[in-house]
């Protein structure tokens, strides 16, 4: 009870902030309405989404010099390797709208140029970022700094990349290369991070917002604390983040094994995993929320589809809008509504809705309707074998995920990271 009372002022503050943004910003209103329609479609089990799609990730390239032990690409990616044609990239961006890329009122129209490759090696690096900016999008890149060159660092600054998440999985050569392979030398990575930060400060620029991230795993557990403290106070670096480990679609035994070992020593990872399982009780929200696009133009349901296992359409032949309510995605939604998750991509997945949460966090009317008992989706558990006692309400399981966890300095609510 006391907890509920404590959260009331915070909820009220959040509500009034959102209302203010909605009143003064037409783009925020459009985003709100679009997200509301998507939530409504999900909560009312509609196979046709009333809202417009968000493109959650765009894979500009799936080339990558690293061999990371926690990445499905290393073990099982068999699809061709290549770069997205710049014409196709432009066409895709032109079909998108900034409002559809905003998750909440006051949010940013963000495009994530990442998937299963290293974005800094994309042939049309600068051109792609410039095009996103021309169309009103902000750009986020996730990259391993060991691959940066002086030329790319300059381009990142010249084009004004809005945000870079630099992955630092070890604080020395031995740890870093054990996790990401021989190309991931630590000394080079640190020199590049310092160079980018230094040039950013020299230019007096606020972008890119530079966050260093370490994905927790047993191999780097002895360096979590060092990582958290080492970068403090360096001008130009905006934050550090110890990220939870992901098992992606859950189909790769080596990746799952690392998670099992990690959970034994890290309670926060174990809690995160338990939360994932609770979330997985509900039909995955991704097919109503967003899609991901690979370098070859294939559209897949989410960022776990490393091998184009569940292709929903091809942007070389169809528009984003045709794919969004096309027969393949409707088929997937229908299966989820019926509590079936037996397709080749989703059958082992324990990360349903993970980065995006379930509806009801920011859009009061949809969650109100659901709480009144009109919603249908939350009544359908779809992941067998999970303890009934671990059920939670969808409201409790909303949110979470990538943006909220990734950049502590910009978020209101942070989960404490137990080291």
Q: Which stretch binds ligand SF4 (CB under 6 A): 31-39, 200-208, 296-304, 366-374?
A: 296-304
- Verify binding: residue 352, ligand SF4, rule CB under 6 A: yes
Lookup result for tokens 């609770």: 278
Near ligand SF4 by CB under 6 A: residue from 125, 186, 286, 324: 286
- Could you say whether residue 301 binds ligand SF4 (CB under 6 A)? yes
Among residues 70, 214, 302, 358, the one that binds ligand SF4 under rule CB under 6 A: 302
Task: Give the integer Cα–Cα distance in Å for 123 and 301.
Answer: 25
- Distance in Å, CB of 384 to ligand SF4, minimum: 14
Closest distance to ligand SF4 from the beta carbon of 285 (Å): 8
- The b/e string for 131-143 (b: 16+ C-beta within 10 A; e otherwise) is bbbebebbbbbbb
# binding residues, ligand SF4 (CB under 6 A): 12
Q: Which is nearer to ligand SF4, 72 or 236 (CB)?
A: 72
Name the β-bridge partners of 314.
Answer: 298
Using the rule CB under 6 A, is 345 a contact of ligand SF4?
yes
Name the residue with tokens 């909820």. 11
Give the rounded distance of the alpha carbon of 331 from its chain centre. Answer: 24
The tokens describing 382, both together, are 């779809």
Beta-bridge partners for 141: 164
Find the radius of gyration of the CA atoms of the chain: 21
- Closest approach, Cβ 346 to ligand SF4, in A, equals 3
Spatial separation of the C-alpha atoms in residues 277 and 383, rounded to whole Å: 8
Burial (0-12, 13-18, 19+ Cβ within 10 Å), 321: exposed
346 binds ligand SF4 (CB under 6 A): yes
Least Å distance between CB 341 and ligand SF4? 6
304 contributes a contact to ligand SF4 by CB under 6 A: yes
Binding mask 134-173 for ligand SF4 (x = CB under 6 A): ----------------------------------------
Q: What are phi and psi of 233, to 5 degrees?
A: 85, 0
Selected from 28, 262, 284, 329, the binder of ligand SF4 by CB under 6 A is 284
CA distance 69 to 307: 17
- Token pair, residue 370, equals 């659901």
Q: Which residue, 153 or 284, has its beta carbon nearer to ligand SF4? A: 284
Binding segment toward ligand SF4, per CB under 6 A, in 93-101, 195-203, 299-307, 320-328:
299-307
Contact characters 229-268, ligand SF4, x per CB under 6 A: --------------------x-------------------
Q: What angle do CA 40, 4, 391 make, to 5 degrees?
A: 55
Q: Which is it for the CA torsion 400, 301, 92, 120, positive or negative?
A: positive
> Which residues here bind ligand SF4, judged by CB under 6 A?
249, 284, 286, 301-302, 304, 341, 345-346, 349, 351-352
């Amino acid at each position: 009870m006391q907890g509920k009372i404590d959260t009331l002022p915070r909820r009220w503050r959040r509500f009034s902030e959102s209302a203010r943004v909605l009143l003064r910003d037409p783009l925020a209103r459009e985003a709100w309405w679009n997200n509301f329609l998507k939530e409504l479609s999900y909560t009312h089990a509609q196979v046709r989404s009333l809202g417009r799609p968000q493109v959650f990730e765009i894979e500009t390239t799936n080339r990558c010099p690293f061999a990371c032990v926690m990445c499905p690409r290393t073990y099982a990616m068999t699809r061709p390797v290549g770069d997205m044609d710049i014409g196709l990239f432009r066409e895709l961006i032109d079909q998108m709208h900034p409002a559809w890329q905003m998750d909440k009122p006051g949010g940013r129209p963000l495009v994530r140029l990442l998937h299963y490759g290293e974005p800094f090696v994309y042939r049309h690096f600068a051109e792609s970022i410039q095009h996103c900016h021309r169309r009103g999008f902000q750009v986020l890149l996730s990259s391993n700094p060991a691959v940066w060159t002086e030329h790319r660092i300059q381009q990142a600054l010249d084009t004004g990349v809005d945000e870079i998440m630099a992955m630092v999985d070890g604080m020395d050569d031995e740890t870093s290369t054990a996790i990401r392979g021989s190309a991931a030398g630590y000394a080079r990575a640190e020199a590049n991070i310092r160079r980018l930060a230094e040039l950013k400060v020299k230019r007096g620029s606020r972008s890119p917002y530079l966050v260093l991230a370490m994905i927790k795993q047993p191999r780097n557990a002895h360096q979590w604390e060092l990582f958290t403290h080492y970068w403090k106070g360096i001008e130009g670096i905006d934050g550090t983040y110890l990220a939870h480990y992901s098992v992606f679609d859950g189909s790769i035994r080596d990746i799952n094994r690392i998670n099992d070992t990690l959970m034994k020593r890290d309670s926060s990872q174990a809690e995160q995993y338990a939360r994932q399982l609770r979330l997985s009780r509900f039909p995955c929200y991704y097919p109503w929320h967003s899609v991901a696009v690979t370098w070859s133009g294939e559209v897949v349901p989410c960022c776990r589809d490393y091998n184009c296992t569940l292709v929903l359409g091809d942007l070389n032949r169809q528009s984003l809008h045709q794919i969004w309510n096309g027969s393949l995605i409707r088929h997937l939604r229908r299966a989820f509504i019926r509590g079936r998750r037996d397709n080749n991509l989703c059958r082992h997945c324990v990360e349903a809705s993970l980065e995006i949460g379930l509806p009801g966090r920011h859009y009061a009317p949809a969650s109100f309707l659901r709480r009144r008992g009109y919603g249908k989706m939350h009544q359908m558990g779809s992941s067998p074998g999970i303890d009934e006692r671990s059920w939670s309400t969808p409201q409790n399981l909303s949110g979470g995920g990538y943006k909220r966890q990734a950049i502590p300095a910009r978020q209101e609510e942070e989960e404490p990271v137990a080291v």
